[in-house]
């Protein structure tokens, strides 16, 4: 099957053509909107299906063929993933307009976490708020976790469903997921992609009492607070940069004290989430790092591993190479790996599975 995969980010779209499980073409646009979709389709027009990544799928537990009803339901989730959901919706509508006879499948980052135990999924809030089971922890980066699990199984010679892993997706967004029995059993992101570790422009977890205090003393509207937490916090907020880790590292190398402190906070909060995730496992087979930062800044990953000796990790040499590899020392009791992000392959797999289910019916 020839599957065109579209992976919308907050300000770009990654596109790949996957044929029978192998990527044969890849491109990225640093812009968004219908024009990008048109360019991609002109480049790869002969396809059997199109797969689109959606950060938030709500109650969806598996990839699904897109129809008007599904799109309407996904649009209702826009406020929960404002950086990504609107673009995914726009991209999907444009694909359906340009390729009306080609099936379009939506693949959801939240689906990998849909079987989280209630103890991990529920918030300690009033029952009147949570009785409909919508105000819950959904988790994100699920497509990245699913691929990382499969690839780690290959690298370690283990069946993926038998592995117990902690997967850290470290990019502009950062999340940490405990994986057992082939799916996520706990994760750092929750109702929105704002919870958990510190990120490029997102704050991660903050004492809600602090936020209430700021809103009362500033004062700020909910929309103003959301804009600050999603776009003006994290590395960006602490350093006065745009949050790009390369700029922060360069500033720290020049002796910028704010940048150095921000990096210390970044590493500390990532380590803390990794440590917390291990408590949802009965053993730790490996820690996996993926995402753009893991791919392009392996030295930062090593510096994180250096502080995880309590988990049995011992950092090794990390050559700059574009291959998946183990990055702990040979005598490390627990291996850590860097797995290059390949959400495109997981998107294609999801599309094939969803269309196979439809054909069986």
Assess whether the previous peptide bond of 219 is cis (omega < 30° from 0): yes
The length of the chain is 361
Apex CA 292: angle with CA 2 and CA 290, to 5°? 80
Do 235 and 199 contact (CB within 8 A), yes or no? yes
Distance CA 335, CA 324 (A): 13
Residues 6+ apart with CB under 8 A from 37: 6, 13, 91, 94, 95, 98
Nearest CA among 95, 23, 19 for reference residue 54: 95
Distance CA 93, CA 163 (A): 38
Strands 13-19, 22-29: pairing kind: antiparallel
Burial of 45 (0-12, 13-18, 19+ CB in 10 A): exposed
Residues 6+ apart with CB under 8 A from 20: 1
Angle between helices 257-278 and 298-305 (to 10 degrees): 60
**109: annotated active-site residue:** yes
Do 93 and 71 contact (CB within 8 A), yes or no? yes
Do 137 and 120 contact (CB within 8 A), yes or no? yes
Secondary structure (3-state) at 287: strand
Distance CA 36, CA 42 (A): 10
Distance CA 58, CA 215 (A): 28
- Catalytic, out of 39, 109, 207, 285: 109
Q: Mind telling me the catalytic residues?
A: 109
């Amino acid at each position: 099957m020839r599957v065109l995969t579209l992976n919308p980010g907050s300000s770009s779209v990654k596109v790949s053509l996957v044929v029978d499980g192998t990527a044969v073409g890849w491109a990225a646009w640093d812009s968004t909107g219908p024009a990008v979709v048109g360019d991609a389709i002109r480049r790869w027009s002969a396809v059997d299906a199109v797969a689109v990544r959606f950060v938030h799928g709500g109650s969806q537990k598996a990839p699904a063929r897109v129809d008007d009803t599904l799109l309407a339901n996904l649009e209702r989730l826009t406020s929960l993933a404002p950086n990504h959901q609107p673009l995914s919706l726009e991209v999907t509508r444009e694909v359906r307009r340009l390729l009306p006879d080609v099936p379009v499948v939506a693949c959801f980052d939240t689906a990998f976490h849909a079987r989280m135990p209630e103890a991990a999924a529920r918030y300690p809030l009033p029952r009147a708020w949570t009785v409909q089971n919508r105000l819950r922890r959904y988790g994100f980066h699920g497509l990245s976790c699913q691929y990382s699990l499969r690839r780690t199984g290959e690298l370690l010679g283990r069946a993926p469903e038998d592995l117990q892993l902690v997967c850290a997706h470290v990019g502009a967004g950062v999340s940490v997921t405990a994986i057992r029995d082939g799916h996520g059993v706990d994760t750092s992101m929750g109702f929105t992609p704002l919870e958990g570790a510190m990120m490029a422009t997102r704050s991660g977890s903050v004492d809600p009492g602090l936020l209430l205090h700021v809103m009362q003393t500033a004062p700020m509207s909910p929309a103003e607070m959301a804009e600050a937490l999603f776009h003006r916090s994290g590395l960006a907020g602490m350093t006065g940069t745009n949050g790009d880790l390369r700029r922060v590292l360069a500033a720290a190398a020049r002796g910028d004290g704010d940048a150095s402190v921000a990096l210390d906070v970044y590493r500390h909060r990532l380590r803390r989430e990794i440590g917390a995730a291990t408590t949802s496992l009965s053993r730790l087979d490996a820690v996996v790092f993926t995402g753009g930062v893991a791919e392009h800044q392996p030295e930062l990953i090593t510096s994180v591993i250096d502080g995880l000796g309590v988990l049995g990790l011992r950092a090794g040499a990390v050559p700059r190479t574009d291959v998946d590899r183990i990055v702990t020392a040979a005598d490390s009791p627990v291996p850590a790996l860097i797995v290059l992000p390949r959400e495109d392959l997981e998107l294609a797999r999801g599309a094939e599975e969803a269309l196979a289910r439809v054909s069986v019916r």
